[in-house]
Amino acid sequence: MPPAEILEIALRSLAVAGGATLLAALFGVPLGLWLALRGGGGAWGRVLLYSGLALPSVVVGLLFYLLLSRSGPLGFLNLLYTPWAMVLAEATLAFPLIAAFVLSGARGRVEEVRLLVRSLGGKERHVLPTLLAESRRTLAAALAAGFGGAISEVGAATLVGGDIRHHTRVLTTAIVVETRMGELQAALALGAVLLGIALLVTAFLVILERE
């Protein structure tokens, strides 16, 4: 496989996984903080959230395939077999990861933050933004987990993306294709790129956490 094509696939993988992570964080971070402020949302709330961690990617992919296919309720959007469909599917998988990490990390700091806000003359409405500001390490871990789940996903990406060359092929689907074709050297090269991207993004998040 030409180096230019590997770069193209890597950049597409980064764009899809990054978009999915940001979309999942948009909903997952507020949910995790909201549940933390309410004591975790109760046993059933945590069960529902944590069960999302075990969502089979192929089931999520099948769901979005049915929704986005021509005969599906969202077929008019023409998103099936596009990177946008992959972003939606991967965001669905990353969402419970991010929300669960935020809940787990922020839950133990709620009372501490409440006392801090009250000591400074703040109101209850100030607790949530303060908790967000005081949870940088938790947010970094949550984003790393969400990005890792998104960029390493293959089942849903194959179903809704179709692994179309120069259009929806990403590193994980390309590795599967190259391995099936017996091109193990290309598959190993793609795997090394995938690991490198994951390492670089994680390192970037760790740096942000410490600043």
| pTM, to two decimals | 0.89
The pLDDT confidence band at residue 211, using thresholds 50, 70 and 90, is low
Please give the pLDDT value at position 210.
67
One DSSP character per residue, the chain reads --HHHHHHHHHHHHHHHHHHHHHHHHHHHHHHHHHHHTTTSHHHHHHHHHHGGG--HHHHHHHHHHHHSTTSTTGGG--TTSHHHHHHHHHHHHHHHHHHHHHHHHGGGHHHHHHHHHHTT--GGGHHHHHHHT-HHHHHHHHHHHHHHHHT--HHHHHHHTT-TTTT--HHHHHHHHHHTT-HHHHHHHHHHHHHHHHHHHHHHHHHHH-
Q: Where is pLDDT greater, at 210 or 166?
A: 166
The pLDDT confidence band at residue 135, using thresholds 50, 70 and 90, is confident
pLDDT tens readout for residues 151-209? 999 999 999 999 999 999 999 999 999 999 999 999 999 999 999 999 998 888 878 76
